[in-house]
Structure 1
Amino acid sequence: MAPEASKTTIPIPERIRTPRTARGRAFASRFRLGPAAIAAAALVCLLIGLLYLALQIRTILSDQLKQEYAGLVLDAVERADSARSQVGIWQQLPDATQARAAGYRLARNELAQHLATLAALVNASPAAAPRLPSSALTPGADLRETDAVLSTVSAWWRAQRDADSADVHERIAHVARTLIASAALLFCMLITALGMYAKRNRLLAGQSHRFEWAALHDAMTGLPNRRTLFATLETAATNPSARAAHGKIAVLYIDLDGFKQVNDSLGHRVGDEFLIAVSKRFRESVRKADVVARIGGDEFAILVREFSTNAELGEIARRLIACVVRTDKEIGVGRVRASIGIASFPEPVDDYRRLVAAADEAMYRVKRSGKNSYAFADEAN
């Protein structure tokens, strides 16, 4: 029994540590802000700003109400001062007559009423205002105490009104600055979101264009593929405006003779280099309006949109054969040539859908009869 082969146990780490830079990139890519995130952040900022502005406006309205209340109190103080002046006038009259006594008593009662109104306003104030002493509210109160009370109340409420007015102006200025800053911030965030959205759309459009190009072209040579060839052929055959004045189109089907031996002996790298070089020469040897397509492997097709005689098609075929020969000499292969089949529409092929197949059949006739030449489809009949 053969001895069992020795086995080497390779320890597997419990945790593969990710480099910090890689983790940082992964974190950044996971939390990368996009247009939707920036728009959501702008909306959140807008809501916070609106809530803040609502609180500021509420405070401003409250301060304005305090100002109006202070104005009411000061009006009551002025009326009480006016009544106190009337009392002083009656008090200074020289004649101690009954009329003077009645007028003085009436003035003192009116002063007491104004002081009671003032006291009611002050006592009903939500602010911690100094209260009026009850001793100053009676008709027989000491006038010097009344003067002191009116002076104190007037000074306190004027200071309160000035403070509320200054606070209102400061808050209005702050609200204006906040509105400007919020508008600028929202504008920048929205512009950023729109810019990112436009950039993403351009990237998506570019990727879509690349995908569409890849679906319609050969990846190695860059030539149109079979799908593009047949779509262009259908457009040229069914749309009269896409054809020339002669109304004739043709397909030249090319097969590279001996190319398989290049891949087998020299490798696919040399074969790919050959295909890229010969594709470029094919493209340069025909007109811009004609389509050079790679069908697959070492097979190509040329859609000629405009020609008048078969001699012109033969000249194109000879140029294509020369392209293969020059490429073969340049790369140093020494064994690759071309067989070309030519079919034209509407004569002799009256169905454009058989045009490529007819050219392919003509190409195989060339391969059977010696290769490195061309033949027309009508010669097969």
Structure 2
Amino acid sequence: MSRFRRAPAMLASASLLCLLVGLLYLALQIRTIFSDQLKQEYAGLVLEAAERAESARAMVGVWQLHSGDSQAQTQGYLHARIELADRLNSLAALVNASPSAAPRVPASALTPDASLTGTDALLATIPPYWRAQRDADGADVRLRIAHVANVLIALAALLFGMLLTALGMYAKRNRQLAGESHEFEYAALHDPMTGLPNRRKLFATLDEAAANLQAGPTDRNIAVLYVDLDGFKQVNDTLGHRVGDEFLIAVSHAFRESVRNVDVVARIGGDEFAVLVREYSTAYELAEIAQRLIACVVETDEQMGVGVVRASIGIASYPDLVSDYQRLVAAADDAMYRVKRGGKNGYAFAVQAD
């Protein structure tokens, strides 16, 4: 009889062990799923950077056809080469910082006078590789989700036989997984170094702000200020990346403190930031914000004793200057490059579309 009395306890212990093994497997699978999703996001960022580089290369080709016709067209070609080099540097920063063993971008391809043939070859190889990486990670996510579903079915049958004990354990584990999910979601939407929202979070917030704007009074406006740090590359080259990272963290905090709580300060990537102003009345308010942001950079530069970093800012607003809010960031980016071409260390508004 004692053997039969011990049987339920042994069965319960075996069931509990199976449950623990199943939950551990689920946790590992879910963690891996989120990891693969982050890899997909990273591959998407690389592909976006590659697309911008391809657009810059196409512009170089357009200017190249007429580069000798006039001095202005020759200058346009040179500016197009510089912009191509900037885009390639942004692409290389992402590719070379990849945690996976991805093919690196050689430094010889990143100068303004680099061979266009080599650039074309580079741009022909990077997108297919990263698309394949993204597709492979996506296939792995789908496979793991199927495994998770199968394990959940088995665990549900097991839970039916040990309801009271398993419900408490499952509830506790579910809370842990929810916490992990929140952490991964936060990491996917924020810059890990500065803690600011990233590009993905900025565009999501922009969609929300535009929806609120369209549902409210017609005299309201939203705006985006695109900030690029002039001379920041020299900080990394001369003082090291540690000092460069400290500068970015400090200026990020200064940016955040210089605007309202309802406004969003995001790090787009590298030394580029964006500020989403949810509501304003006049262009003068935007100009004041731009001046404060420039002052933040100057003060941070002086406090750290760098002496070379300033800011170029482009401003685009919806709906008065830009009719489509989804083009706000691109329009502000274009205005910022006009500032750079005009001497840097200043701000400019986007040109109103006809």
Instruction: Name the TM-score, length of structure 2 as normaliser.
Output: 0.53
2:238 to 265, 290, 295: 265
Decide whether aligned partners of structure 1 residues 192 and 361 sit closer, same or farther in structure 2, where only a CA change above 3 A counts. Answer: same
The whole-number CA distance in structure 2 between the counterparts of 1:274 and 1:366 is 22
Amino acid at match of 1:234: D
Aligned partner of 1:295 in structure 2 is 268
Aligned partner of 2:349 in structure 1 is 376
2:333 to 360, 376, 379: 360
Q: In the TM superposition, what are the counterparts of 1:174-253 in structure 2 within 5 Å? A: 193-240=166-213, 246-253=219-226
Q: In the TM superposition, what are the counterparts of 1:162-181 in structure 2 within 5 Å? A: none
The whole-number CA distance in structure 2 between the counterparts of 1:365 and 1:243 is 33
SS in 2 for 1:239: helix
SS in 2 for 1:339: strand
Shift of residue 368 of structure 1? 1.3
The whole-number CA distance in structure 2 between the counterparts of 1:252 and 1:302 is 5
Q: In the TM superposition, what are the counterparts of 1:58-97 in structure 2 within 5 Å? A: none
Shift of residue 239 of structure 1? 3.4
The whole-number CA distance in structure 2 between the counterparts of 1:194 and 1:37 is 13
Contact 2:322 2:352 survives alignment (8 Å) = no
- Partner deviation per Cα, 1:273-319 (whole Å, 9 max, x = no partner): 00011001111110111111100000000000010000000000011
Decide whether aligned partners of structure 1 residues 200 and 225 sit closer, same or farther in structure 2, where only a CA change above 3 A counts. Answer: same
Structure 2, unmatched stretches of 5+, are: 1-13, 23-161
Decide whether aligned partners of structure 1 residues 329 and 38 sit closer, same or farther in structure 2, where only a CA change above 3 A counts. Answer: closer
Shift of residue 194 of structure 1? 3.2
The whole-number CA distance in structure 2 between the counterparts of 1:216 and 1:344 is 24
SS in 2 for 1:218: coil
- Partner deviation per Cα, 1:172-227 (whole Å, 9 max, x = no partner): xxxxxxxxxxxxxxxxx966543332221111001100110111111111111111
Aligned partner of 2:303 in structure 1 is 330
SS in 1 for 2:351: helix
Shift of residue 369 of structure 1? 1.3
2:256 to 270, 279, 283: 283
SS in 2 for 1:234: helix
Instruction: Name the TM-score, length of structure 1 as normaliser.
Output: 0.49
The whole-number CA distance in structure 2 between the counterparts of 1:327 and 1:300 is 15
The whole-number CA distance in structure 1 between the counterparts of 2:206 and 2:212 is 10
Contact 1:253 1:300 survives alignment (8 Å) = yes
Shift of residue 33 of structure 1? 5.7
Decide whether aligned partners of structure 1 residues 37 and 306 sit closer, same or farther in structure 2, where only a CA change above 3 A counts. Answer: closer
The whole-number CA distance in structure 2 between the counterparts of 1:218 and 1:32 is 43
Shift of residue 251 of structure 1? 0.3
Contact 1:244 1:306 survives alignment (8 Å) = no
Moved >6 Å (runs of 4+) = 241-245
The whole-number CA distance in structure 2 between the counterparts of 1:283 and 1:233 is 17
SS in 2 for 1:227: helix
SS in 1 for 2:276: strand
> Aligned residue pairs: how many?
202
1:36 to 15, 19, 23: 19
1:344 to 313, 317, 334: 317
